[in-house]
Structure 1
Amino acid sequence: MTLQEFFAMGNHGFYVWWSYGLTLLVIVLLFIGFAWYKKQLLNKIKSFKREIGQKARSVKTEKISD
C-alpha cells in the first residue's frame, strides 16, 4: 500500500479527511470559546469583588462617622 492509496482510502478519502478536519476545527473552536468565556467570567468576578469591597468600606465609614 502506497501513501497515496492510504490517503485515498478506496475513493472515500475526501469524505474521511474532510470529516477529521471539520471535527478538529470544531474542537479547536470549542477550546477558544471556553477560554474566552472563562476570561470574561473571571473579569466579572473581579469587578464584583471590587464593587463589594467598595460598598463594605463605605458602610464601615458611615458607621464610624455616626
Structure 2
Amino acid sequence: MTSWHEFIFMGKHGAYVWSSYLMTLVVLLGLFIGFRKMLKSLKKQVQSEAMLPSDKRQKTRKLKVSQPD
C-alpha cells in the first residue's frame, strides 16, 4: 500500500467496498438496538409478573413480546 488514496479508492472499487461496509454496520446496529429494546421489554414484563400474587401468576401462561419497530 503506497498511499492512503490508493487504500480509500481500492482500484476504482472503493465506492462498492465502503458502501458494503457501511450497510453491514447499519444492519448490525439496527439488530443490536432492536434486541436491546426487546430485552428491556421482557425484563419489565418479568418484573411486573413477579409482583403479582402467586395465584394470578399461575394463570399467566406466556409473556407478550413486543417486536422492535
Shorter-chain TM-score category? 0.7 to 0.9
Deviations 1:27-53 (A, max 9, x none): 111111111100000000011111235
Counterpart of 1:15 in structure 2 is 16
Counterpart of 2:49 in structure 1 is 48
Q: Distance in 2 between matches of 1:9 and 1:42?
A: 46
Shift of 1:23: 0.4
Which of the two has higher C-alpha Rg? 1
Counterpart of 1:5 in structure 2 is 6
Q: Distance in 1 between matches of 2:13 and 2:47?
A: 52
Runs of 4+ displaced beyond 2 Å? 52-56
Computed over aligned residues only, the root mean square deviation of the Cα atoms, in angstroms, reads 1.9
Q: Distance in 1 between matches of 2:55 and 2:34?
A: 32
Q: Kindly, what percent of the aligned residue pairs are identical?
A: 41
Higher RCO, Cα 8 Å, sep 6+: 2
What TM-score results when the alignment is normalised by the length of structure 2? 0.71
Shift of 1:24: 0.8
Q: Distance in 1 between matches of 2:16 and 2:53?
A: 55
Unaligned runs of 5+ in 1: 57-66
What TM-score results when the alignment is normalised by the length of structure 1? 0.74
Higher helix share: 1
